[in-house]
Structure 1
């Protein structure tokens, strides 16, 4: 019988883990397949939260709140890796979305004679380049210095990731089939990549277990839902354009935006946009909500929205919100980034249109005006998610990949 596997896993996100593709996939699903993990990273958010990790242990070294986090993070990760190594010798070292730590992880794996695996959920280098280009358009000598620093970081990161880290990985997990094709174009062997799109925990996103929100502001309204972050970079004001268009012919329309912003500035910007457009009666901006409270609003909605800007950063992404809508049986309107197009085409549980105000508004009106169509789409969503996008299903794919790349040889009898 094969002995359990253990992964020393350096992550970019704040610890304790909160993302479903770490918390659920590695904390719950991987142990069912005999794969444990030692999670390494920096504290962030509620650092006093419990760090119990059913799959192994969490090693928090340093804090993302430190002004020196960007510089010290690789050294903190190395220290955490040593802690994990003292607990038990891992079967591989895996790094998620970190570049300098990715290089250290590759070197540590080589010194220990272990496989090195990279998990890429976002094009970090390209994100650095976008930030560099944004600064270029600003004026002032301080901005010029900032641009030089960001340009140097982007260039060094590109060299390290694409020349040293990814070529040295025995396997690369990516976020979507689109990301896999994109990296193949950068010279990474497709045979060494596995696409793991975002999924849902079927027990959490079971409509039958949720109590619809009793918020009186929803009474008598045609409710739309958007679950997710608000950000200027995500063009969140597009949602307001769609609502303004719909309000002309559907006076009772109400968009519930259940989510917070990445920064106070982004939230202030969104509130100002709502006021400037005169949409206070048509937009309910909840701010941060506990997950079940947000889902309570979602199941009151007739239509769910998932607009994601097209471009190099988001075209290779795998948005969670569309899969969540489908799991809850909410007819959805999404735009045509590759993963959303794939989900809509395979499930038949929503409408896929370009991210244009008129196209989105027309698709929403079609669902509001055609109850038979909406009901048919609502029934298809949960069936598709149970078959293709729960973490139980995705966990089987990931576990099978690990058993192929982390071959365990039993000692002779």
Structure 2
């Protein structure tokens, strides 16, 4: 009988993991294929050294992301975590997700242990640093701008010259990200696209109770399920609602989600008031997942507008897939992964992220009950055959089988 594979996996997100593409994909799906993981990273709170159970192997939490020194100390913490993981089990590969300095550390550690080094890129971190640098530069250059400029320059050098060239394999967020990296000179054959998916048991319409919020009664409900942020142009949703309410007077836009800060939520409330659409928008704030899905089941149309640009064009948004899994006809804009899902599923409409055409697509679904019903039927079937973590897990496991030497 073959021994299971063991991956020492350094992650950027706080531990224990909440993101489904770590918690579900590696915590539940990978062990089915004999792939176990030793998670290494920082806690989200102050109890950085506290242990936590991890069903797929071990979890080695060192340091806290809330520490003011986290950016500097994170690689050292990760090294300590790697040493702990190595004491527990010898890894068959070292994998790093979305970290730059720790990516270089992981490559070096893999060379010392003579195991493959794998990089998992779910977001273009360097380009994110450059956007932040430019935002600060637009307000005038100073010491803060210099610090961000240096970080962006050093990060670009490390990730594209030292980390990715030494990766035995690169997992990416989408086919668009794979094409983007290939255009930068990285071999497409060394990449596997793993888009965002859903846990089919959680996103089963029959297992979710619709919300009983009386504010939804008698309204034509459209829904945005996700975080509010100026960087994501969340006020675009309000532009769409303002367009629609002229022809759909009983329209109610439900935004089921919170903002990262009170300032962001205050900004959203101010934008609603400025447009005079308080009677047509419901901000729920943070909700437990089951409650948020209860609101989703009351919606006639799901909305997924994502700003175009380098950062988001290579992304794989979850919300569109979640809407389709729940049988909610949807309108999304044309970032590549959403365009792909709409084209393959035939369960929604694609429109540019402009208020009038986006609103027209929404109104088409509100008006055409037969079309909406057909989309609602196609959505779950598509997700269950293409975008559940059971499906994605098999793709990832098959990739490991090809790129890693099997022990035993």
TM-score for both structures, normalised by structure 1: 0.97
**Pairwise mapping of residues 353-392 of structure 1 onto structure 2 (< 5 A)?**
353-392=351-390
Partners of 1:253 and 1:124 lie apart in 2 by: 38
Partners of 1:176 and 1:399 lie apart in 2 by: 17
Partners of 1:32 and 1:409 lie apart in 2 by: 17
- Alignment counterpart, residue 309 of structure 1, candidates 292, 307, 311: 307
Name the structure 2 match of 1:7.
7
Q: Do 1:123 and 1:313's aligned partners in 2 also have CA atoms closer than 8 Å?
A: yes
Note the alpha carbon deviations across 1:306-329, whole angstroms, 9 max, x for none: 000000000000000000000000
- Provide the secondary structure at the position in 2 that maps to 1:240: helix
Name the structure 2 match of 1:22.
22
Shift of 1:264: 2.3
- Alignment counterpart, residue 199 of structure 1, candidates 197, 200, 217: 197
Shift of 1:50: 8.2
- Provide the secondary structure at the position in 2 that maps to 1:268: helix
Shift of 1:56: 0.7
Q: Do 1:12 and 1:96's aligned partners in 2 also have CA atoms closer than 8 Å?
A: yes
Shift of 1:45: 5.2
Name the structure 2 match of 1:35.
35
2:163 is the counterpart of 1:162: no
Q: Do 1:314 and 1:337's aligned partners in 2 also have CA atoms closer than 8 Å?
A: yes
Q: Do 1:224 and 1:256's aligned partners in 2 also have CA atoms closer than 8 Å?
A: yes
Q: Do 1:128 and 1:150's aligned partners in 2 also have CA atoms closer than 8 Å?
A: yes
Partners of 2:381 and 2:52 lie apart in 1 by: 34
Name the structure 2 match of 1:246.
244
Shift of 1:167: 0.3
Shift of 1:369: 0.4
Q: Do 2:94 and 2:110's aligned partners in 1 also have CA atoms closer than 8 Å?
A: yes
Shift of 1:275: 1.6
Name the structure 2 match of 1:114.
115
Shift of 1:47: 5.9
Note the alpha carbon deviations across 1:153-193, whole angstroms, 9 max, x for none: 00000000000000000000000000000000111111100
Gaps of 5+ in 2: none
Q: Do 2:329 and 2:365's aligned partners in 1 also have CA atoms closer than 8 Å?
A: yes
Name the structure 2 match of 1:70.
71
2:318 is the counterpart of 1:320: yes
CA separation of 1:45 and 1:237: change in aligned 2, threshold 3 A = farther
- Provide the secondary structure at the position in 2 that maps to 1:314: helix
Note the alpha carbon deviations across 1:228-286, whole angstroms, 9 max, x for none: 11111100000000001111111110011111112222112111111221121111111
Partners of 2:83 and 2:265 lie apart in 1 by: 40
Partners of 1:45 and 1:77 lie apart in 2 by: 16
Partners of 1:119 and 1:289 lie apart in 2 by: 30
Shift of 1:46: 8.9
2:274 is the counterpart of 1:273: no
Q: Do 2:306 and 2:353's aligned partners in 1 also have CA atoms closer than 8 Å?
A: yes
- Provide the secondary structure at the position in 2 that maps to 1:224: strand
Name the structure 2 match of 1:54.
55
Partners of 1:285 and 1:167 lie apart in 2 by: 45
CA separation of 1:389 and 1:75: change in aligned 2, threshold 3 A = same
Shift of 1:23: 0.3
Gaps of 5+ in 1: none
Partners of 2:381 and 2:46 lie apart in 1 by: 36
2:338 is the counterpart of 1:340: yes
- Find runs of 4+ consecutive structure 1 residues off by over 4 angstroms: 45-50
